[in-house]
């Protein structure tokens, strides 16, 4: 398993004839991109974390960070390691005094938590090589979430 470190380069909305869908864009250090389609509330949470916003009431992802802190759990990383039938799968990699634990999660939740924890996001190399060219070409037609929400 070759895990590639990625940055969260933004939260966008893809508007196509069939639907409008939010997505988070992950980019590796060579510029390769992986678009991960997510729900609107996860998109808002990730966007909020990227901007360093602290809302008056916590998102669920903020609650996770508070629980981790209170129980001396550290988030080491998030791994997006599998894609099946277009669905991405991820794991939180956590440590406490007993050692490392992997917990299954949706990539969107893992990314939202990782951003708040300052933990890295990794993507399995095979996911990059499995992306279709048409998928990456559609990336150019995206609108940033903040811009989309202001319309």
Nearest to 27 by CA among 149, 111, 93: 111
For residues 6 and 123, is the Cβ–Cβ distance under 8 A?
yes
CATH of residue 139: 3.10.690.10
What is residue 138's predicted lDDT score, i.e. its pLDDT? 57
What is residue 20's predicted lDDT score, i.e. its pLDDT? 79
pTM: 0.88
- Report whether pLDDT(53) > 60: yes
Q: Are strands 99-105 and 33-37 parallel, antiparallel or unpaired?
A: unpaired
Cα separation, 25 vs 33, in Å, equals 7
More confident residue, 146 or 138: 146
Please name the helix (run of DSSP H) or strand (run of DSSP E) that holds residue 29, with its range, or none: none
- The number of domains in the chain is 1
Mean pLDDT computed over 52-69 = 90
Q: Are strands 142-144 and 33-37 parallel, antiparallel or unpaired?
A: unpaired
Structural domain boundaries, residue 126: 3-150
- Report whether pLDDT(123) > 90: yes
């Amino acid at each position: 398993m070759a895990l590639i470190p990625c940055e969260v380069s933004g939260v966008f909305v893809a508007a196509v004839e069939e639907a409008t869908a939010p997505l988070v864009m992950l980019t590796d250090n060579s510029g390769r991109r992986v678009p991960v389609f997510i729900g609107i509330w996860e998109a808002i949470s990730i966007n909020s974390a990227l901007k360093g916003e602290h809302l008056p009431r916590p998102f669920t992802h903020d609650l996770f960070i508070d629980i981790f802190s209170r129980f001396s759990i550290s988030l080491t990383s998030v791994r997006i390691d599998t894609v099946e039938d277009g669905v991405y799968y991820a794991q939180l990699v956590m440590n406490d005094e007993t050692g490392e634990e992997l917990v299954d999660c949706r990539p969107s939740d893992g990314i939202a938590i990782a951003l708040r924890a300052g933990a890295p996001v990794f993507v399995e190399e095979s996911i990059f090589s499995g992306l279709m060219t048409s998928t990456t070409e559609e990336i150019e037609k995206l609108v940033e979430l903040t811009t989309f929400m202001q319309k």
